[in-house]
Amino acid sequence: EVQLVESGGGLAQAGGSLRLSCAASGFTFDDYAIGWFRQDPGKEREGVACIRSSDGNTYYADSAKGRFTISSDRTKSTVYLQMNNLKPEDTAVYFCAAGPRVSYSTGNYASWGQGTQVTVAS
CB 19 within 8 A of CB 81: yes
pLDDT of 41? 86
Question: Is the pLDDT reported for residue 117 higher than 90?
Answer: yes
Q: What is the DSSP string of 59-89?
A: EE-TTTTTTEEEEEETTTTEEEEEE-S--GG
pLDDT, residue 35, reads: 97
What integer pLDDT is reported at residue 85 of this predicted model?
98
Question: b/e for 80-116, b at 16 or more Cβ within 10 A?
Answer: bbebeebeeebbbbbbbbbbeebeeebebbebbbebb
Q: What is the pLDDT of residue 102?
A: 92
pLDDT tens digits for range 24-51: 999 999 999 999 999 998 899 999 999 9
